[in-house]
A and B are shown apart, each in its own frame.
Chain A
Amino acid sequence: MIDPVAIAKGVVKRFASQTALDGVDITITPGKITGLVGPDAAGKTTLIRILAGLMAANDGEIAVLGGAPGTNLEQLGYMPQRFGLYEDLSVIQNLDLYAELRGLSKEEKPATYGRLLDFTDLARFQDRQAGKLSGGMKQKLGLACALVKTPRLLLLDEPGVGVDPISRRELWAMVKELTAEGIGVLWSTAYLDEAAKCDSVTMLNDGKLIYSGDPSGLTDRMKGRVFNASSDTLDRRHLLTQLLGDNEVLDGTIQGSSIRLLTRSEHPSLPGIRLDPLPPRLEDGFIEVLGGGPGGTSALADAYSRFDHNDVPAIEAHALTKKYGDFTAANQVSFTARPGQIFGLLGPNGAGKSTTFKMLCGLATPTSGTCSVAGHSLKHAGPAARQSLGYMAQKFSLYGDLSVEQNLNFFAGAYGLKKAAARDAIDKVVDIFELSSRLRTNAGVLPLGYKQRLALACAVMHEPPVLFLDEPTSGVDPVMRREFWVHINGLVSRGVCVLVTTHFMEEAEYCDDILLIYRSEQIATGSPDDLKAQASRIAGLSDPTMEDAFIALIEASNVDTKNPRKAA
């Protein structure tokens, strides 16, 4: 067996109030990608920092590159969560800096730069400031900087967060190529599909090691317990609600028009439901280890007003265009979203998705075109339109130094809830989202999951008929993501319209209608199944996943515009 590039046994790290790592073992083998998986706050970042020598462990045996952590930094590549780039330096200046710091010799420089720029497809942007790159490009530059002097060990801390599927796929291919040269890679992620592709995974929960080994080891346990469930009488959302409430069911997600189901046993008794076996995934194993997904009913939805499916469209956009100088960020975007519908806005980083989203909720004024929310024009009846929408931002954007209660009070007041109504609304969300024990805690120090809940609570207290969610589950682990979607599904069945942007193609499956934006244009519209059908027609794929469809449609659009993007 080859000597591992890093090996740690029984690592313990304590912070003032909690134990972040409690006896964790990990082995990173050269030429392999080791996945580090776990829910939010499981201790992934702490472990990576200890391996990089940025933190000292309280206990445990650690050998990195044959020495103590931090001693062989010449042979270590490290990409922190925020990539560690100097945003006011250009691409090439960032590379230069790291090349000098890592002691790359002058002779090696041209070849290395050529290889890295080619590899990351950044050659065209070498003079652009790093701060002005899209998320995906920043991430590739971050990787390039970690690789200027080929390391023996590469540590990547959640490189995929907030990045679109295409960039993620490209990044994966790049790293895979590196392992062929014998580099040992540690890849931390909250995306289970990424983890499934790793050569081995180390799974953490709450600072403890819960699984270590080949991903298939975890997946295989689920064999025979995963099904495609459908029903003739119930639509997919009601079917999911019903199934999640069933004791036999451990987990379920919407996939196209049917449900992907994980059951407790291989022969569940679910009368009236058609079950077709499906191959298991790593995520199924992960969910089982964590004790299963949430139940199917949303207390939030049960207490919510019911909106009739009347003729007024919930969101209507007509020829929305936004120009910044001579750059068109969004061009002629038109669509209609009905009450009781989830509408997905998808597209790669920097495609114009955010600009469109901002125009729809009134954060940006369209250069031309109109849009309205619940029948109120954003231009002419701004306050009325804003009163009828709830908004949840990509980043946590409540008041971090205010307590949970103060945040709730403020948003209740800002949406004009009168005293008694405000009291009721706050009591209700506190109860539903189990916030009562944390009312006095500052919102900024809540765990990510609670931040998510609080943000949703603040967005729905005034029971708006329309909800805008901008990458609402970015960086959140699968269990919390499911809980979130149970609420959203519940609200939709009460007639609420939800507009969502996401990079999770799995989440795109929840949408009724999807608008795909690329290079400022809307390139495809339709239900998830429609898009998959389109994609299989164009690219000749059979039974594509949503991610396959996304990539195929984008690439097809590249061919159309005769401006081919370099294949990853």
Chain B
Amino acid sequence: MGRLKAITIKEFWALVRDPKARMGLFLPPLLQLFLFSYAATLEVRNIDLGLYDMSSGRYSQELVQRLDGSPNFKRIEVLHSPEDLRQAIEDQDVIAAIVIEQDFDRRMASGQSAEIGVVLDGRRSNAAQIVAAYVTRVASGIGAQVSNLPEPEGLRVTNLYNPSLDFVWFNLPSLIVMLGVITSIAVTGLSISRERELGSFDQLMVSPLRVHEILLGKMLPALGFGLLNGAIFIAAAQLIFDVPFRGSYAVFFAALIVFNIALIGVGMFVSSLSRTQQQAFLGSFLLTIPIIMLSGFASPVENMPEWLQVLNHANPAMYFLPVAQSIFLKAMPLSAVISWMWPVVLIAIVTLSASAWLFRARME
């Protein structure tokens, strides 16, 4: 115990003693938290729209006004020719342009159904689709309004847990996962290779410390920081970003501990494998990217090809991401958390044993 305590304290100081390293532990995650939570949004707002109106009657005016009044659209650029339109889209001045044919007003006035055209920039197909949906919603209201008839409701959509579909409510819990991945792997990924490069590794090896003491000593401070960062993010999410936390803190932290241990295992594995800090850094980077990108944060896991979904079962973030989101917003109960998290326990066992084995194998 005495030895374990000594090495844990040493590892703790090794992490925080250097002011630059201390900053590195807290500042980048916080910076990323702010940047990501505001910048990483798949919403589409402040849209610049083109308008090529060949009809210019009452109904088309009405449509333009409604579009202009919608909070999603920032600016409507009037275009005068098909050539204008092509140029505006090609140069990305506008993401889409509405084309209103000459007979639009005539048809509407006579109570017929009419059509408008929307030309969208296929280079940004995702945003373009969302823009198309906005335009459709506005346009479909026109008919009902001009005929002064109530529009039948048809579909009543409620968004549970996040009624206004605020993207920040999705981002914040996800960021706790992403930043956890980045920091935990970075902190542990360099821990052994740094000692190798600086020569203190030999000093450790000739001391009576056992392998498990060395590994535990390196894990515990990293775990501590993972949890501390988690706690800071949870507080920031609620106090600064007004994201509700509806679940149980105990359950959340239990899952966070399991998740962090799995990540630390990954980091230790890379570190045991690397001879130099540069290799460790690259190795960590090469693993961090897929762990994050395939977690379901950037796009749903279901959208991936079958074979990648199979591979993704080894990705701890793929399990913890939905758990974190669900505990935050949906108060996911323990039983459901366990049904998601048990593979992470397996991953943790595998990565930790692999790193211990590798550490032993590469002692010389």
Contacts and interface: CB of A to CB of B under 8 A. Distances in A.
Do A and B touch, yes or no (CB under 8 Å, in the complex)? Answer: yes
A399 B14 contact: yes
B10 A415 contact: no
Interface residues of A, number: 35
A409 B6 contact: yes
A410 interface: yes
A391 B203 contact: yes
Contacts, number: 89
Interface string A426-437: 000000000000
B13 A406 contact: yes
A389 B206 contact: yes
Interface in A359-379: 361-365
B71 interface: no
A453 B14 CA distance: 21
B205 interface: yes
A410 B221 CA distance: 15
A412 interface: yes
B163 interface: no
Contact of A397 (B3, B202, B364): B202
A362 B9 contact: no
A416 interface: yes
B199 A395 contact: yes
Interface stretch (B207-215, B258-266, B272-280): B207-215
Contact of B10 (A361, A364, A383, A406): A406
Contacts of A362: 205-206
A402 interface: yes
B156 to A, nearest CB: 62
B17 interface: yes
A63 interface: no
A466 to B, nearest CB: 11
A406 B210 contact: no
Interface in A400-417: 400-403, 406, 409-417
Nearest to B200: A397
Interface of A: 358, 361-365, 383-384, 386-387, 389, 391, 393, 395-403, 406, 409-418, 442, 468
A413 B214 CA distance: 12
Given A386-B207, A399-B14, A401-B17, A412 B202 contact: no
Given A399-B13, A442-B17, 18 more contacts: A363-B205, A363-B364, A383-B210, A387-B208, A391-B206, A393-B199, A393-B202, A397-B203, A398-B203, A403-B13, A409-B9, A411-B207, A412-B6, A413-B3, A414-B204, A414-B208, A415-B3, A416-B3
A468 B17 contact: no
- Chain B interface category by residue count: 20 to 34
Interface in B1-20: 2-3, 5-7, 9-10, 13-14, 17-18
Interface in B166-215: 198-200, 202-210
15 contacts: A362-B206, A363-B205, A364-B364, A391-B206, A393-B199, A398-B200, A399-B200, A402-B13, A403-B13, A409-B10, A410-B6, A412-B6, A413-B9, A414-B207, A414-B208
A468 B206 CA distance: 10
Nearest to B5: A413
Contacts of B14: 399, 401-402
Contacts of A399: 10, 13-14, 198, 200
Contacts of B208: 383-384, 386-387, 414-416
Nearest to A395: B199
A395 to B, nearest CB: 5
B132 interface: no
Contacts of A398: 200, 203
Given A406-B13, A409-B9, A413-B3, A386 B206 contact: yes
A384 B10 CA distance: 22
A384 B207 CA distance: 10
A387 B200 CA distance: 17
Interface in B204-257: 204-210
Interface of B: 2-3, 5-7, 9-10, 13-14, 17-18, 21, 198-200, 202-210, 364
A399 B12 CA distance: 12
B213 to A, nearest CB: 9
Contacts of B198: 397, 399-400
A544 to B, nearest CB: 35
A402 B198 CA distance: 13
B80 to A, nearest CB: 63
Contacts of A401: 14, 17-18, 21
Contacts of B204: 414
A395 B207 CA distance: 17
Contacts of B199: 393, 395-397
Contacts of A406: 9-10, 13, 17
Given A365-B364, A395-B199, A415-B208, A402 B6 contact: no
A358 B363 CA distance: 12
A417 B6 CA distance: 10
Nearest to B12: A406
Nearest to B203: A397
A363 B9 contact: no
Contact of B2 (A364, A393, A396, A417): A417
Contacts of B3: 413-416
Contacts of B205: 362-363
Contacts of A384: 208
Nearest to A399: B200
Contacts of A396: 199
Contacts of B6: 409-414
B209 A414 contact: yes
Contacts of A365: 364
A391 B206 CA distance: 7
A482 to B, nearest CB: 25
Nearest to A407: B10
Contacts of A386: 206-208
A543 B151 CA distance: 116
Nearest to A394: B199
A418 B2 contact: yes
A363 B17 contact: no
